[in-house]
């Protein structure tokens, strides 16, 4: 299959839905052999089937990325199935929303295990194989615009993503001698099935109440007022950013590329005020 990633093999963790699934499909459209992944095999198979039915090449692999043995198994399957691993996308992530004084230590640890340790295990497993192959490679870690700010109720998520940012830089420095580029993509609010559900559960309405500000809502009005571009990002836009970062040929490594419609530049403000 021809395309910008023709003959390359990409592993995308957490690719059963949302950004991960979009990246996996986008890479397949550009000719990559894709390993889709989820902790539940049937969910990973759903994305793989959609890819193959569209004319691409994909194999589903069940793995819990927070387990280093599973991370190694995921990479091994890529090499066994397609002969190499050229691109590793560490996308799998979870979140919990609770005030810091009420946060259950188990919830804290679960988020760190998946979002930060999982990225490390995936990157480590991929880097070992890429070094062994001797042909370089691309590692892309999915961070968040929340990795550089404080937000009420989201301490484990934000801390994990801040860790991903610094880990990305460390990996980039250590792996550069092997021609392995390591970058991170930090999305803002993206239109996915999950955000659709979140918007539907946002019962505060669309009016901005100054007395209760700041309000960390997710309906269209609140996101539009906090984002200079005035809308959620699309999954296609996330595909575009991810493809740029893994295609290579751009002398970029150790970069955290924020794709948030200007949210970080604007700060936690409101265009309505």
Residue 112 lies in a domain: yes
Does the pLDDT at position 142 exceed 50? yes
Residue partners of 206: CB distance under 8 A and separation at least 6: 219, 220, 221, 222
Residues 157-211 have pLDDT tens digits of: 999 999 999 999 999 999 999 999 999 999 999 998 766 655 555 555 445 454 4
Residues 35-92 have pLDDT tens digits of: 999 999 999 999 999 999 999 999 999 999 999 999 999 999 999 999 999 999 999 9
Average pLDDT of the chain, as a whole number: 91
Question: Looking at the annotation, which residues are catalytic?
Answer: 157
- Return the CATH number at 135: 3.40.50.720
Element (H, E) at 9: strand 9-12
Sign of CA dihedral 216, 217, 220, 221: negative
Which residue range is the domain that position 136 belongs to?
A: 9-191+234-266
Residue 219 lies in a domain: no
Q: What is the pLDDT of residue 273?
A: 46
Residue 198 lies in a domain: no
Residue 162 lies in a domain: yes
Q: How far apart are CA 168 and CA 163, in angstroms?
A: 8
Quote the pTM value.
Answer: 0.92
Q: What is the pLDDT of residue 210?
A: 44
Does the pLDDT at position 269 exceed 90? no
Residues 213-242 have pLDDT tens digits of: 445 566 777 788 889 999 999 999 999 999
Report which DSSP code applies to 83. Answer: S
- Structural domain total, the chain: 1
Residue 217 lies in a domain: no
Please answer whether residues 216 and 204 qualify as being in contact, where contact means their C-beta atoms are separated by less than 8 angstroms. Answer: no
Residue 103 lies in a domain: yes
Residue 207 lies in a domain: no
Beta-bridged to residue 142, according to DSSP, are 185
Q: How far apart are CA 224 and CA 81, in angstroms?
A: 44
Q: What is the pLDDT of residue 213?
A: 46
Cite the DSSP H helix spans in the chain.
18-29, 41-53, 68-82, 105-112, 118-133, 155-175, 193-200, 220-226, 235-247, 263-266
Report which DSSP code applies to 116. Answer: I
Residue 3 lies in a domain: no
Q: Which of 184, 164, 266 is nearest to 223 (CA)?
A: 266
Find the mean pLDDT for residues 148-153: 86
């Amino acid at each position: 299959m021809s395309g910008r990633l023709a003959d390359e093999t990409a592993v995308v963790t957490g690719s059963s839905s949302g950004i991960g699934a979009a990246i996996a499909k986008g890479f397949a459209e550009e000719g990559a052999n894709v390993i889709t992944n989820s902790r539940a095999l049937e969910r990973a198979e759903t994305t793989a089937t959609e890819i193959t039915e569209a004319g691409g090449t994909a194999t589903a692999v069940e793995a819990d990325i927070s387990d280093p043995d599973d991370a190694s198994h995921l990479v091994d399957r890529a090499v066994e199935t397609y002969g190499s691993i050229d691109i590793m996308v560490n996308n799998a992530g979870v979140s919990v929303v609770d005030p810091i004084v009420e946060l259950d230590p188990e919830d804290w640890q679960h988020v760190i295990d998946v979002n930060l340790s999982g990225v490390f295990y995936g990157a480590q497993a991929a880097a070992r194989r890429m070094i062994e192959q001797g042909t370089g490679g691309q590692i892309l870690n999915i961070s968040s615009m929340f990795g550089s700010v404080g937000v009420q109720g989201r301490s484990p998520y934000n801390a994990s993503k801040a860790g991903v940012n610094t880990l990305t830089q460390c990996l980039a420095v250590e792996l550069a001698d092997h021609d392995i580029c390591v970058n991170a993509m930090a999305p803002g609010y993206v239109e996915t099935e999950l955000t659709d559900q979140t918007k539907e559960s946002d019962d505060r309405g669309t009016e901005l109440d100054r007395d209760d500000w700041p309000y960390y809502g997710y309906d269209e009005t609140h996101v539009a007022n906090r984002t200079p571009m005035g809308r959620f990002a699309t999954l296609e836009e996330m595909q575009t950013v991810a493809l740029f970062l893994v295609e290579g040929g751009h002398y970029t490594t150790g970069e955290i590329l924020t794709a948030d419609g200007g949210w970080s530049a604007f700060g936690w403000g409101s265009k309505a005020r």
